[in-house]
Amino acid sequence: MPAATKQLDELIGREYRHGFFTAVETDTVPRGLNEDTIRMISARKNEPEFMLDWRLKAYRHWLTMTEPQWANVHHPPIDYQNIFYYSAPKSEKAGPRSLAEIDPALLRTYEKLGVPLKEQELLAGVAVDAVFDSVSVATTFKEKLAGLGIIFCSFSEAVQQHPELVKQYLGTVVPYTDNFFASLNSAVFSDGSFCYVPPGVRCPMELSTYFRINAMNTGQFERTLIIADKDAYVSYLEGCTAPIRDENQLHAAVVELIALEGAQIKYATVQNWYPGDKEGKGGIYNFVTKRGECRGANSHISWTQVETGAAITWKYPSVILRGDNSRGEFYSVALTNNFQQADTGTKMTHIGRNTKSTVISKGISAGHGQNSYRGLVKVLSGAENARSYTQCDSLLLGDQCSANTFPYIEVKNPSARVEHEASTSRIGEDQLFYCMQRGISPEEAVSMIVSGFCKAVFQNLPMEFAVEAQKLLGVSLEGSTG
Amino acid sequence: MLSVKNLHAGVGGKEILRGVDLDVRAGEVHAIMGPNGSGKSTLAQLLAGREGYEVTAGSVRYLDRDLLAMSPEERAQEGVFLAFQYPVEIPGVSNALFLKTGLNSIRKHRGLPELDAMDFLQLLRDKMKLLGMDENLLSRAVNEGFSGGEKKRNEILQLAVLEPKLAILDETDSGLDIDAVKLVADGVNAMRSPERAIVLVTHYQRLLNFIVPDAVHVLSQGRIVRSGGAELAQELEQHGYSWVETETEAQRKTA
């Protein structure tokens, strides 16, 4: 092995930094899943009848389904009866009324993660909702947002305070019958974030949710619902981490976005779940359904994701372009190192006239990582003049990893124009040597080359997030060229 | 500054350099000439630290250190610079960022404070003006979509910014029209100083019309078969490389 490569191998060996565990007493419903589990979750959350009904319908439907096998990922069977479906820090049982009531151990956890929850520290202008295992522990800046009519709270709170909105929109983009994991989520989801931006309001700050899986053998099933009413605008960020554990943990989330006429939603994710160790032991199964609907004319939804964590990632943030002139975008960086597997991409469904979609996907594979892009561009017969552009690039570091592209295109309207471009390249010894010959260390060189490769995606992230994402990428790559 | 002794090196068991001796002192400009396949580029890349070559015998000292024991970035930080024959493209990384990262790593190594964006940009603009380069090359990705001439000038720009102690130019004149050769030569001449050594690797004599070397060496089949002053380049131009080669062949036979 050439010397530079060996050095890179050492660099890539750096460890996961969010792998600590916070000792808090938890209130957990018994292991396993049946109708009683669901009734118990619903009762703990004091939910109205319609929610329980919906959960039970989802559960009964889920029983008729089988786990999908089509993704290019491999894992031992998941024992759904061996999971705790609800775990909440005991001290938060009744739900905190203000930040002062939050267990200091939890606040310290978030501080360690670099997510300050104290409002005075949030001058940066990001409102945060933090979800710890199954419940939301804090939502900051609530009052300021309320002044503008913006509702930003935990999902549980929304069910209590705004049941009419939840009832009106829940499951309208991702129905409880949608797919195996979405159905499971619909039955057992414990919390998540909720956001509603009223007509004509531009949300003045980034909204952010920070998810943390802490307890052992716990699944995290959160549900996020964001509605931008007519001509509203909101930008939303999501971050995730988990402690290091030898067992695989399941994370099956659902995110629904609804943009009404003239509205715009930007949704960005930096996902850094525990990826498993170097031999591929442990790590989070990240099986997530994310979908947005441009319901009104001239609406606009964009997904940006930086996926560096999780043992297996299985997600396709998608956009249904129903409104005329609506636009959907998907910008993705997915990195797999060691034995990580990712099967990710998007679905763009063109229904309205003059709808436009843009897909930029950058896959980076290192170590024994497997990275697949899977994308569907579907143009329905009524979608006069639809335009779609996909660019899908893969970068390989080393020769043990793999990259695949599975583009699907279905066009039922002759006026559509659908373009797809794909490329695969390798970080060459040439590029590395060139950088090193200019005095740049191999570590910095790889990180610079990879950042350059991801530039088209990073420029869609809010500034601070882009910096964060670049750092994360550097860390995740340490030790990765073989 | 640089002392190469009896250097034998090759790739995959095939010997390319078969006993090279070369001494370069600070302030000197040496030209290494030779036909294709004589080992010129191998020598240049080996000195810069490119992987994949096996050194089977001999030594290379640089400023009284064992050059071959140093990593490529350490060589660069210690002042060894290679202008690439084929400059490499790095998509998405701006030329300015690339240069700034390199310069600051080198400055850090030398115990100098890192340059901030403003100072760096000023430095860069001054150097670019000297080379007649368009400023838009700064914001473009490293060498991506550059013309052949732009790539070569970009190498000289890096040379000018990084201010190495030993600059090795590998066929910097190849593929350039005469005006571009002149620009490159002006850039190199501006870099001549009593503290700096320059090694020009070239196939043609024409670059040496603009950069007059202190010494010329002819490399043939992995050995320096002849050394002389600037006039040696003129002779080569008249007689071609076959002239030294036949002569060497004759010498070998008599030996």
Instruction: Identify which of B91, B92, B162 has the shortest CB distance to residue A438.
Output: B162
Could you read off the pLDDT of A265-313 as tens digits, one per residue?
999 888 777 777 777 777 778 889 999 999 999 999 999 988 887 788 8
DSSP secondary structure letters along A29-76: PPSS-SHHHHHHHHHHTT--HHHHHHHHHHHHHHHT------SS---P
Judging contacts by C-beta atoms under 8 Å, the chain A residues touching residue B51 are: 2-4, 429, 433
- What is the ipTM score, two decimals? 0.94
* A430, A432, A435: best to mutate for the B interface, most B CBs within 10 A: A435
Categorize the per-residue pLDDT at A11 as very low, low, confident or very high, splitting at 50, 70 and 90. very low
Q: What gap in Å lies between CA A340 and CA A310, rounded to an integer?
A: 7
All structural domains of chain B = 2-254 (3.40.50.300)
Closest chain A CA to residue B110: A439
Q: What gap in Å lies between CA A282 and CA B11, rounded to an integer?
A: 43
B133 vs B193: which has the higher pLDDT: B193
Give how far B248 is from chain A: nearest CA, Å: 35
Give how far A444 is from chain B: nearest CA, Å: 9
Closest chain B CA to residue A459: B92
Paired with A103 in beta bridges are: none
Categorize the per-residue pLDDT at A351 as very low, low, confident or very high, splitting at 50, 70 and 90. very high
Q: pLDDT at residue A12 above 50?
A: no
Can you give the pLDDT at residue A269? 85
Q: Do the chains contact at B98 and A433, CB–CB below 8 Å? A: no
Q: Do the chains contact at A439 and B77, CB–CB below 8 Å? A: yes
| Helices and strands: H and E segment counts in chain A | 11, 23
Q: Do the chains contact at B101 and A451, CB–CB below 8 Å? A: no
Contact B92, B141 (CB under 8 A): yes
Q: Do the chains contact at A440 and B158, CB–CB below 8 Å? A: no
Judging contacts by C-beta atoms under 8 Å, the chain B residues touching residue A433 are: 49-51, 72, 88
Q: Do the chains contact at B102 and A438, CB–CB below 8 Å? A: yes
* B45, B47, B70, B73: best to mutate for the A interface, most A CBs within 10 A: B73
Q: Do the chains contact at A448 and B97, CB–CB below 8 Å? A: yes
Q: pLDDT at residue A23 above 60?
A: no
Paired with B40 in beta bridges are: none
Q: Do the chains contact at B162 and A454, CB–CB below 8 Å? A: no
Q: pLDDT at residue A436 above 60?
A: yes
Q: What gap in Å lies between CA B135 and CA B25, rounded to an integer?
A: 35
Q: Read off the amino acid at residue A311.
A: A
* B78, B82, B85, B93: best to mutate for the A interface, most A CBs within 10 A: B93
Q: What gap in Å lies between CA A88 and CA A94, rounded to an integer?
A: 10
Q: Do the chains contact at A440 and B99, CB–CB below 8 Å? A: no
Q: Do the chains contact at A4 and B51, CB–CB below 8 Å? A: yes
Rounded percentage of chain B residues whose pLDDT exceeds 70: 96
As a whole number, mean pLDDT of residues A53-79 equals 88
Q: Give, in order, the Cα–Cα distances in Å from A169 to each of A164, A253, A293.
A: 9, 17, 11
Can you give the pLDDT at residue B2? 96
Q: Do the chains contact at B90 and A434, CB–CB below 8 Å? A: yes
Residues 6+ away with beta carbon under 8 Å from A274: A16, A18, A19, A241, A242, A243, A244, A245, A282, A283, A284, A309, A310, A311
Q: Do the chains contact at B102 and A439, CB–CB below 8 Å? A: yes
Q: Do the chains contact at B71 and A3, CB–CB below 8 Å? A: yes
As a whole number, mean pLDDT of residues B239-255 equals 70
B200 vs B244: which has the higher pLDDT: B200
Nearest CA-CA partner of A285 in A267, A273, A268, A302: A273
Give how far B106 is from chain A: nearest CA, Å: 6
In chain B the first and final C-alpha atoms are separated, in Å, by: 33
Can you give the pLDDT at residue A461? 77
Mean pLDDT of chain A: 81
DSSP 8-state assignment for residue B63: T
Residues 6+ away with beta carbon under 8 Å from A7: A442, A443, B71
Judging contacts by C-beta atoms under 8 Å, the chain B residues touching residue A441 are: 73, 105
Give how far A274 is from chain B: nearest CA, Å: 29
Residues 6+ away with beta carbon under 8 Å from A192: A131, A136, A154, A155, A209, A222, A223, A224, A225, A253
Q: pLDDT at residue A463 above 60?
A: yes
Q: What gap in Å lies between CA B216 and CA B34, rounded to an integer?
A: 10
| Lowest mean pLDDT across A22-26, A48-52, A288-292, A297-301 | A22-26
Instruction: Identify which of A433, A441, A456 has the shortest CB distance to residue B105.
Output: A441
How many Cα neighbours within 13 Å face the side chain of B55? 19
Q: Do the chains contact at A439 and B109, CB–CB below 8 Å? A: yes
Q: Give, in order, the Cα–Cα distances in Å from B240 to each of A83, A366, B157, B235.
A: 81, 50, 32, 8
Tell me the residues of A at the B interface, defined by beta carbons under 8 Å apart.
2-4, 7, 428-431, 433-442, 444, 448-449, 451-456
Paired with A188 in beta bridges are: none
Give how far A426 is from chain B: nearest CA, Å: 12
Q: pLDDT at residue B149 above 50?
A: yes
Categorize the per-residue pLDDT at B248 as very low, low, confident or very high, splitting at 50, 70 and 90. low
Instruction: Identify which of A440, A449, A455 has the shortest CB distance to residue B105.
Output: A440
Mean pLDDT of chain B: 90
Q: Read off the amino acid at residue A76.
A: P
Contact A334, A363 (CB under 8 A): yes
Contact A217, A243 (CB under 8 A): no
Give how far B92 is from chain A: nearest CA, Å: 4
Judging contacts by C-beta atoms under 8 Å, the chain B residues touching residue A456 are: 92
Judging contacts by C-beta atoms under 8 Å, the chain A residues touching residue B106 are: 439
Q: What gap in Å lies between CA A379 and CA A117, rounded to an integer?
A: 44
Q: Do the chains contact at B51 and A431, CB–CB below 8 Å? A: no
Nearest CA-CA partner of A244 in A213, A223, A286: A213
Can you give the pLDDT at residue A328? 97
Q: Where are the domains of chain A?
A: 3-477
DSSP secondary structure letters along B142-195: ETTT--HHHHHHHHHHHHHHH--SEEEEESTTTT--HHHHHHHHHHHHHH--TT
Contact A318, A294 (CB under 8 A): no
Categorize the per-residue pLDDT at A94 as very low, low, confident or very high, splitting at 50, 70 and 90. very low
Instruction: Identify which of A2, A434, A436 has the shortest CB distance to residue B52.
Output: A2
Kind plus residue range of the DSSP H or E element containing B118: helix B117-131
Categorize the per-residue pLDDT at B162 as very low, low, confident or very high, splitting at 50, 70 and 90. very high
Instruction: Identify which of A433, A441, A455 has the shortest CB distance to residue B50.
Output: A433
Instruction: Identify which of A431, A433, A454 has the shortest CB distance to residue B72.
Output: A433
Q: Do the chains contact at A437 and B101, CB–CB below 8 Å? A: no
Q: Do the chains contact at A3 and B97, CB–CB below 8 Å? A: no
Nearest CA-CA partner of A344 in A475, A478, A457, A218: A457
- What pTM value is reported for the model? 0.78
Could you read off the pLDDT of A173-219 as tens digits, one per residue?
999 999 999 999 999 998 888 999 999 999 987 787 766 655 554 56
Size of interface A-B (CB pairs under 8 A): 86
Q: pLDDT at residue A55 above 80?
A: yes
Q: Do the chains contact at B91 and A453, CB–CB below 8 Å? A: yes
Q: Do the chains contact at B98 and A438, CB–CB below 8 Å? A: yes
Could you read off the pLDDT of A443-460 as tens digits, one per residue?
889 888 888 888 888 888
Contact B196, B226 (CB under 8 A): no
- Nearest-Å Rg of the Cα atoms of chain B is 18
Closest chain A CA to residue B107: A439
Q: What gap in Å lies between CA A34 and CA A30, rounded to an integer?
A: 10
As a whole number, mean pLDDT of residues B55-72 equals 95
Q: pLDDT at residue B36 above 90?
A: no
A384 vs A334: which has the higher pLDDT: A384
